[in-house]
Amino acid sequence: MLGFIFTVLSLTALFALAMYRAPLPVWAAAMAIFTVSLQLGLGSGELHWPVFNVWALAGWLIAGGLFALTFPEIKRKFLVLPVYRAFKGAMPAISETEREALEAGTVGWDAELFGGQPDWSKLTSVPPITLTDEERAFLDGPTEELCRRLKDWRMRHELHDVPDDIWDFVREEGFLGMLISKEHGGLGFSAQAQSLVLGKISSRSSDGVTIVMVPNSLGPGELIEKYGTEEQKAHYLPRLARGEEIPCFALTGPFSGSDAASMRDIGVVTKGRHEGREVVGLKLTWDKRYITLAPKATLLGLAFRLFDPDNHLGRGEDIGITLALVPTNHPGVEIGRRHLPCGTAFPNGPTSGKDVFIPLDWIIGGQARAGQGWRMLMSCLAAGRSVSLPATSAAGAKSALRISTAYARIRKQFNLPIGFMEGVEEPLARMVETAYELEAARAVTASMVTAGEKPAVISALLKYVSTERMRDSVNDAMDIHGGKGICDGPSNYLQGAYQMAPVCITVEGANILTRTLITFAQGALRSHPYLLREIEAVQDQDEARGVADFEEALDGHVGFTVSNIFGALLHNLTFGAFADAPPNAGPTARWWRQLARASRSFALVADLTVALLGGRLKVKQKIAGRMADALAELYLLSSILKRYDDDGRPEDDLKLVNYCAQNCLARFDLALAGVLDNFPLGWVGVCLRPLVFPFGARRPAKDRDGKEIVRAALQPGAFRDRLTREIFITDDPADRIGLLEHTLQKAVAAEAIDKKLESAIRKGEVKRFYNNDWIAEAEAKGVLTAEEAGTLKELNELVGRVIAVDDFDPAEIAAANTANGSSGSQARTSNQSEAA
Ligand SMILES: Cc1cc2nc3c(=O)[nH]c(=O)nc-3n(C[C@H](O)[C@H](O)[C@H](O)COP(=O)(O)OP(=O)(O)OC[C@H]3O[C@@H](n4cnc5c(N)ncnc54)[C@H](O)[C@@H]3O)c2cc1C
């Protein structure tokens, strides 16, 4: 008994010391007490005089070593300096552009997840969706109206362009100036409002949203608002807000895509003539491609590398990446040709210029901001990436779900709505989950931005996760629709989103790069509590100061690692029973505890991954990608739990929250297990598995739970409406989406009557062939009443319209192709740099 009590007390003390990060002298004293206790026989329960054996020797050596480390000189010589030198060798120097990317934006909830002991208040204090009356009125008024006016097929196929009446409407209503402050003539909307407006438009038309999104995201408007000179603000912002200027922003070039900072576009400070006078200015040569709105733009935001060989600016030769505003009608600007990205209709194209002279005050922010372009871009990206693409992706997932649940309930095969078949239920369950999760993450992230954060790491992970999951949802929707989704035409409501999905995946940092290079590698540096301080310390030119800073960070880091080892083990052994949850967490308390448990495991693996791989993390991208996936699941789970609370904990949503949470944790475990299984140093996986997965990985939610949420989503009502909130919805049968909604209501209402008819057909009492009016026959034979027959006739006609696909006269297709320049087009594939 004594031995048992001793073991329990010793283990409790060990876990307490580790988890509460006891200081070194306490560890040394604890070790000494433990060793004496062993010598006295407490461990075996047989008390005797102190013995001295090999265990006692080991215990005293450890206690002595820990005690010695409490002397600063000894600690520095035997611990800090060797680690400092090893660290210095392992960590590559951070380049200037990397540093600027790292310093841009803010850390917030991501740091809590990286830290392993989340402070819930950092998440729960993020405000729920809040709009001003003006923002709500804009969402319900002009945004709804714009959605009604957008004709997807006309844009994608007939015009291959966004028509002038749509441009006029968005200009007049102020859509192009949502992010521009009221002071400068814009709407000055919050990030949350912008996100909801963009989401609603994109649920109607991917092309329509692009022309609104680009002026309201990274580009001239935002850059001028944040960094412009007073003259630039006064001149351009009201014009941009009114749509008198159409902006585009050109960063990408043929040789600088993902590695945009390696651009070959150049500006040279020199004298030249502008408006009849000789002034100091810039001679620009650029070659850019893929630039959204470029063919339509009047104002080109341009990124280039600036050099000043004659030192006009007094800052040496290489000034760095600089941004300028160039009117597109300025002599020498080549712009107007178009790319055709996946057959979408929004304007996108290349631009170039050779030795184009502009005055110095066209630099965004003026001369003082020359060379700060990369920092400005990264800072805007951290906020912007949190809003636009998550908004359009969440809306894409919600629309795909709304459409597919309606279609799956209306479309019957084998005498059954296809949504009731398990094979179809499976993708539908994924779609329900995705719609809930992406909307949850969109909402909380937009609220963070509204509150003033610029979440750099979260924006990167949300960008890749939301666009990937949206693409999966659109693909699932296509599969559920079969041929109806594939055959294009005015009645196809999926093609636009399907064509747009790869565009979202590629822009604002292509997903493979964002997942495998940016999210975790940057996240670890940004959000890890000690890593960046350690790196900065070893890079400090003043070595004495560097070592001192390093020692301070290392002290914290060792405590952090030890606490995570024991914290992860404790929570994983006890299935999170002792993990923390926010007060009054209610029915989701268990998931908050699982989130805390998972965060501990993540912190442990992330810490060791960074410590052991160091600079190699940049090339070990499969490891970094899986760590990014794990972090993304933690973020999604946080968002889900927050949404459930913010929504007022609707009873019907609990089953969905349980389903999503279980799947998030299963995917989290899968990602982390992948890291351990593939870690470049095999022993790491062997050592960490018992800590992280003492009882194996968690399993995804059960099929029966998926069935429950799908059945609920197939039913018109509050649950389905909440899942698809804030998208454009109409039940006007003249509209292709409205037709679905309208027919769904009728189909559900007529289900019982329909069953009667089906039964009669199965029994052979009524013949269902094209040459027979089977509903009339059923009425004549008394299977249906006249009223029931009328209901089914109407439904039959509506279903026929829902499932119809378009067909064309070949001449019609040829004519459209000729009009769009698809045959005999003047395609050009050269680029200026090659020619040079
Ligand atoms: C429709 C459309 C609109 C756009 N609009 C604009 C715009 O308005 N303004 C603008 O400046 N740009 C714009 N872009 C450019 C966009 O940002 C780039 O396409 C993107 O940065 C990727 O560059 P890339 O296409 O040259 O691909 P590449 O850089 O050639 O990349 C190819 C693949 O390699 C991966 N990859 C590259 N490097 C790494 C790495 N180190 N580690 C792992 N994977 C890596 C990428 O993820 C990608 O999957 C647009 C692009 C498109 C298609």
Residues annotated as part of the active site: 508
Q: How far apart are CA 153 and CA 741, in angstroms?
A: 20
Give the number of other Cβ atoms within 10 Å of residue 551's Cβ. 19
- Structure letter (DSSP) for residue 517: I
Mutation probe of ligand 1 site: the residue of 507, 514, 621, 626 with most atoms within 8 A of C-beta: 507
pLDDT at 500 over 50: yes
- Dihedral of the CA atoms 477, 483, 487, 492 (nearest 10)? -40
Alpha carbon nearest to ligand 1 atom 23, residue: 257
pLDDT band at 827 (very low <50, low <70, confident <90, very high): low
- Beta-sheet pairing, 416-417 with 412-413: antiparallel
pLDDT at 233 over 90: yes
Q: Are 357 and 274 in contact (CB under 8 A)?
A: yes
pLDDT at 102 over 60: yes
pLDDT band at 288 (very low <50, low <70, confident <90, very high): very high
Alpha carbon nearest to ligand 1 atom 50, residue: 290
What's phi and psi for 224, nearest 5 deg? -70, -45
Q: Are 210 and 292 in contact (CB under 8 A)?
A: yes
Mutation probe of ligand 1 site: the residue of 206, 246, 258 with most atoms within 8 A of C-beta: 258
Q: How far is the CA of 207 from the centre of ligand 1 (A)?
A: 19
Q: How far is the CA of 501 from the centre of ligand 1 (A)?
A: 14
The amino acid at residue 194 is Q
Where does 482-584 have alpha helices with state H?
Answer: 483-486, 495-506, 511-513, 520-527, 531-538, 543-573
pLDDT at 831 over 60: no
Q: How far is the CA of 506 from the centre of ligand 1 (A)?
A: 6
pLDDT at 524: 84
Q: Which two tokens stand for residue 288?
A: 């850019």
Q: What angle do CA 494, 629, 696 make, to 5 degrees?
A: 120
pLDDT band at 400 (very low <50, low <70, confident <90, very high): very high
Alpha carbon nearest to ligand 1 atom 36, residue: 513
Q: How far apart are CA 302 and CA 363, in angstroms?
A: 9
Q: How far is the CA of 36 from the centre of ligand 1 (A)?
A: 64
Distance (Å) of CA 132 to CA 188, 191, 192, 439, 824:
11, 12, 10, 20, 52
Q: Which two tokens stand for residue 301?
A: 């935001």
Q: What angle do CA 364, 247, 183 make, to 5 degrees?
A: 70
List all residues 6 or more positions away from 306 whose beta carbon is below 8 Å from its beta carbon.
Answer: 266, 267, 268, 269, 282, 319, 320, 321, 322, 370, 371
Alpha carbon nearest to ligand 1 atom 52, residue: 290
pLDDT band at 819 (very low <50, low <70, confident <90, very high): low
Q: How far is the CA of 463 from the centre of ligand 1 (A)?
A: 14
Atom of ligand 1 nearest to the CA of 250: 11
Residues in the chain: 836
Alpha carbon nearest to ligand 1 atom 4, residue: 290
Alpha carbon nearest to ligand 1 atom 40, residue: 513
pLDDT at 323: 97
Alpha carbon nearest to ligand 1 atom 16, residue: 507
Quick one: what percent of the chain has pLDDT higher than 70?
A: 97
Q: How far apart are CA 246 and CA 661, in angstroms?
A: 43
For range 56-84, the mean pLDDT:
91
Q: How far is the CA of 510 from the centre of ligand 1 (A)?
A: 5
Mutation probe of ligand 1 site: the residue of 252, 503, 623 with most atoms within 8 A of C-beta: 252
Distance (Å) of CA 349 to CA 229, 289, 830:
29, 6, 13
pTM: 0.94
Q: Which two tokens stand for residue 233?
A: 């603000």
Atom of ligand 1 nearest to the CA of 517: 42
- Structure letter (DSSP) for residue 519: I
Residue matched to tokens 């799947």: 663
Summarize pLDDT for 22-63 with one digit per residue, the tens.
999 999 999 999 998 888 888 777 878 888 888 889 999 999
Q: How far is the CA of 836 from the centre of ligand 1 (A)?
A: 23
For range 789-815, the mean pLDDT:
93
On average, the pLDDT of the chain sits at 93
Atom of ligand 1 nearest to the CA of 288: 11
Sign of CA dihedral 773, 776, 780, 784: positive
Q: How far is the CA of 257 from the centre of ligand 1 (A)?
A: 5
Q: How far is the CA of 250 from the centre of ligand 1 (A)?
A: 13
pLDDT at 769: 94
Q: Which long-range contacts (CB under 8 A, 24 or more apart) does 784-793 make?
A: 784/753, 784/756, 784/757, 788/753, 788/756, 791/746, 791/749, 791/750, 791/753, 792/750, 792/753, 792/754, 792/757
List all residues 6 or more positions away from 208 whose beta carbon is below 8 Å from its beta carbon.
Answer: 146, 147, 150, 152, 155, 162, 166, 201, 202
Distance (Å) of CA 656 to CA 151, 432, 437, 529, 541:
34, 8, 10, 34, 54
pLDDT at 826: 64
Please, which residues bridge with residue 349 across strands?
291
Q: How far apart are CA 627 and CA 672, in angstroms?
A: 7
Q: How far is the CA of 324 from the centre of ligand 1 (A)?
A: 22
pLDDT at 729 over 90: yes
pLDDT at 834 over 50: no
Alpha carbon nearest to ligand 1 atom 24, residue: 257
Rounded to 10 deg, the angle between the 142-149 and 191-202 helix axes is 20
Provide residues with CB under 6 Å of ligand 1. Answer: 248-252, 257-258, 290-292, 341, 348, 503, 506-507, 510, 512-513, 516-517, 621
Q: Are 377 and 365 in contact (CB under 8 A)?
A: no
pLDDT band at 20 (very low <50, low <70, confident <90, very high): confident
Q: Are 296 and 160 in contact (CB under 8 A)?
A: no
Terminal C-alpha separation, the chain: 86
Atom of ligand 1 nearest to the CA of 510: 47
| Secondary structure class of 483 (helix, strand, coil) | helix
Closest CA to 274 of 370, 366, 357: 357
pLDDT at 130 over 60: yes
